[in-house]
């Protein structure tokens, strides 16, 4: 088997395969020299080239590059143009603000000679001091003691006296009259009608007041948009506006419905008054809030028997039925009043026991 030949070691062993370093160095230097020569020639060519456009661009200036002359130089030029340099020494620009005209005219003798006669008289009269004072008087009472001759001042003084008299008539510590009590619509806690608030609280379930308010809003909208009620000949509402006008004011409409079916009394069962353990029915009068609460409870209980889908819709239809005398709430009211009339005789037993 022939021996292996390593080609990488052949160059080290045989000098014929190794390239000469002098050739590599010379070739490297030759490349660098040619590159440097080309760059030097290009640089010399660029530096030696003359461009007329470059000089032209250096000579051009923008509209804001030319500096403006000083104020004194401008004034001297204007004097030279107008007067031919006649007042060059005296006509220096007035750099300070508020320079009197007299000082300017004193520098120009011709202008001082030909100026108007009025100005000449003022210059002769002026002594260098003001003829009036610029500070207010310290003693104001002296002015009040003087007689008032201007009628406008007298009118203003009269108005001030009237205001002072009105303030004296008010309570001490008040400059203007005390404000009146706020109306119910502007009071946060009493901005709703009492019946409306009571009805809303009784509609509430599980403490959800916002839902009860939405139901109350739906009920009022139904009363407003529903056709006017047809009154029953025997079950009429309390005196109020005519039935065609009731939907125009749904709050008043609701108030009349509730107050019309509200009972005047309630029946209380009391034992031991007549002797023994028998209960005796005693009529007890109710306050307005109690009467309304009982009527609202009856209306809500009667609405549960309806087949409408929503709770608010059932209550609204029941209210319209009460207004037209078709609801069973009227029967409950009549029954309570009959028991009260029958139990009037039992009131004497209560007084005897006391």
Q: What is the pLDDT of residues 55-97, one digit of tens each?
A: 555 555 555 566 666 666 777 778 778 777 655 444 444 444 4
Mean pLDDT in residue range 125-153 = 56
Mean pLDDT in residue range 142-171 = 72
Q: What is the dihedral of CA 317, 318, 322, 326, to 10 degrees?
A: 90
Residue 340 and residue 285: Cα distance in Å, rounded?
Answer: 10
Kindly state the tokens that stand for 314: 């059932």
- Stronger pLDDT, 184 or 255, i.e. the higher one: 255
- Stronger pLDDT, 218 or 45, i.e. the higher one: 218
What is the pLDDT confidence band of residue 263, given thresholds at 50, 70 and 90?
Answer: very high
What is the pLDDT confidence band of residue 4, given thresholds at 50, 70 and 90?
Answer: low
pLDDT recorded at residue 61? 57
Q: Which domains can be identified in the chain, with CATH numbers?
A: 192-350 (1.10.455.10)
Within 149-287, residue ranges assigned H as helices are 151-169, 194-203, 209-225, 250-261
What is the pLDDT confidence band of residue 292, given thresholds at 50, 70 and 90?
Answer: very high
Q: Are 52 and 70 in contact (CB under 8 A)?
A: no
Q: Which range among 10-14, 276-280, 302-306 has the greatest average pLDDT?
A: 302-306
Angle at 337 between CA 332 and CA 341, to 5 degrees: 150
Kindly state the tokens that stand for 206: 């599980």
User: What's the pLDDT tens digit per position in 111-122?
Assistant: 878 888 888 887
User: What's the pLDDT tens digit per position in 306-325?
Assistant: 999 899 999 999 999 999 99
Residue 324 and residue 230: Cα distance in Å, rounded?
Answer: 5
Task: Please count the other Cβ atoms lying within 10 Å of the Cβ belonging to residue 12.
Answer: 10
Average pLDDT over the chain reads 76
The pTM of the whole model exceeds 0.75: no
Residue 206 and residue 204: Cα distance in Å, rounded?
Answer: 7
Residue 354 and residue 346: Cα distance in Å, rounded?
Answer: 13
- Which whole-number Å values give the CA distances from 88 to 93, 109, 226, in the listed order? 10, 13, 100
- Stronger pLDDT, 95 or 172, i.e. the higher one: 172
Q: Are 258 and 292 in contact (CB under 8 A)?
A: yes
Q: How far apart are the first and last CA of the chain?
A: 146
Residue 77 and residue 91: Cα distance in Å, rounded?
Answer: 11
pLDDT recorded at residue 108? 80
């Amino acid at each position: 088997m022939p021996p292996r030949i390593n080609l990488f070691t052949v160059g080290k062993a045989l000098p014929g395969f190794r390239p000469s370093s002098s050739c590599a160095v010379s070739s490297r230097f030759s490349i660098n020299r040619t590159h440097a020569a080309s760059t030097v020639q290009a640089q010399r060519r660029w530096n030696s080239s003359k461009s007329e456009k470059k000089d032209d661009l250096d000579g051009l200036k923008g509209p804001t590059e030319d500096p403006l002359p000083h104020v004194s130089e401008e004034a001297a030029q204007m004097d030279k143009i107008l007067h031919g340099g006649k007042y060059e020494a005296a006509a220096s620009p007035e750099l300070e603000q508020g320079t009197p005209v007299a000082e300017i005219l004193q520098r120009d003798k011709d202008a001082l000679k030909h100026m108007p006669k009025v100005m000449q008289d003022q210059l002769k009269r002026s002594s260098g001091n003001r003829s009036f004072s610029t500070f207010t008087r310290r003693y104001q009472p002296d002015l009040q003691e003087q007689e008032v001759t201007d009628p406008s001042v007298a009118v203003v003084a009269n108005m001030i006296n009237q205001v002072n008299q009105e303030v004296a008539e008010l309570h001490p510590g008040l400059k203007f009259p005390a404000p009146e009590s706020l109306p119910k619509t502007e009071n946060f806690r009493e901005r709703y009608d009492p019946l409306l608030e009571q009805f809303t609280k009784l509609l509430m379930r599980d403490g959800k007041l916002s839902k009860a308010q939405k139901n109350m809003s739906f009920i009022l909208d139904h009363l407003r948009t529903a056709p006017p009620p047809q009154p029953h000949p025997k079950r009429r509402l309390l005196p109020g506006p005519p039935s065609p006008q009731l939907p125009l004011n749904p709050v008043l409409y609701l108030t009349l419905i509730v107050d019309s079916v509200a009972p005047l009394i309630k029946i209380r069962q009391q034992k031991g008054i007549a002797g023994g353990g028998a209960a005796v029915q005693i009529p007890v009068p109710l306050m307005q809030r109690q009467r309304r609460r009982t009527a609202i409870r009856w209306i809500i209980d009667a609405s549960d028997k309806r087949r409408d889908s929503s709770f608010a819709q059932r209550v609204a239809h029941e209210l319209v039925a009460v207004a037209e005398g078709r609801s069973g709430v009227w029967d409950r009211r009549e029954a309570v009043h009959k028991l009260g009339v029958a139990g009037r005789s039992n009131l004497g037993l209560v007084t005897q026991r006391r």
